[in-house]
Amino acid sequence: MRKNPYLTAGVVIIGLMSLAAIFAPLLSPYDPSVIDHANLLSSPSASHVMGTDSLGRDLLSRMIYGARISLSIGLIAVGISVILGILLGALAGFYGGWVDTLIMRFADIMLCFPTFFLILAVVALTEPSIFNIMAIIGLTGWMGAARLVRGEILSLKEREFIQAEQSLGASHARIIGLHLVPNAMGPVMVHATLGIASAILLESGLSFLGLGVQPPVPSWGNILIESKSTLGIAWWITLYPGLAILLTILGFNFLSEGLKKKLG
């Protein structure tokens, strides 16, 4: 890691954000949902380091608990998309023929739709919730992972060790699961780290539009909603969630670049 500053920076930033999310009950100075009418829109001070919002809730506490929601959505959504992408990409690359054509043409159709507007339409038709957001982002983001896995497996399945497994009578499930997929995971890991950053940004955008995580559950996106009506008098409600989103996405981008250099 000393020879790879991108990887180091990414691990440090994401590590700190993850620790804050994991230990939120210990690090949070106040209950994030407690309303304090005596401290409405208080500016940053010793008692409220990041100030308070329009309901008097401590912004630092809401930011820490918001990290849990935003990071969880990013990780689980990308987990769903990567698992689905690996499965479909492995089937397409290994079997080829009509299986490959069917899966890849479906992926091409999915890629033709603007992702944000597709997700926006689906979210608008369903009940906005954390689990729906995770599932929708995951189910609409598998195409990149599928194409990467397919390309890697098309190359790997011609290698001698795969041909040796086939000559020994190994089942297709064993060849795909134990030999092809593990050897194709390098590019997928790089893609997944970028995907987490995109999912967090997407969730923030949906929450900002009121279609993501619903209050009073704090996420960085729905904290930003409140800043629309208080921007001129409470700059801190815009600044701190925006910086958190910026740093987190920057951290995942650094991590992706570091992994690319390490694995490439």
Q: What is the CATH number of the domain that holds 213?
A: 1.10.3720.10
- Assess if residue 25 is contained within a domain: no
Domain count across the chain: 1
| Cβ count near 61 (within 10 Å) | 23
Tell me the DSSP string of 216-238: TS--HHHHHHHHHHHTTT-THHH
- Assess if residue 46 is contained within a domain: no
pLDDT for 87 equals 94
Under the banding of pLDDT at 50, 70 and 90, the label for residue 157 is confident
- Assess if residue 35 is contained within a domain: no
Burial string for 239-248 (b: 16+ CB within 10 Å, else e) reads ebbeebbeeb
- Assess if residue 127 is contained within a domain: yes
Query: What is the average pLDDT value for the chain, to the nearest integer?
Result: 87
| 20-62 residue pLDDT tens | 999 999 999 998 888 888 888 888 988 899 999 888 899 999 9
Mean pLDDT of 79-100: 92
- Assess if residue 31 is contained within a domain: no
Mean pLDDT of 156-175: 84
**8 A C-beta contact, residue 4 and residue 258:** yes
Where residue 191 falls (left for φ over 0; alpha for ψ -120 to 50; beta otherwise) is: alpha
What is the domain range of residue 153? 67-263
- Assess if residue 246 is contained within a domain: yes
pLDDT for 18 equals 92
pLDDT exceeds 70 at position 102: yes
- Residue 101 makes CB contacts below 8 A (sequence gap 6+) with none
- Assess if residue 22 is contained within a domain: no
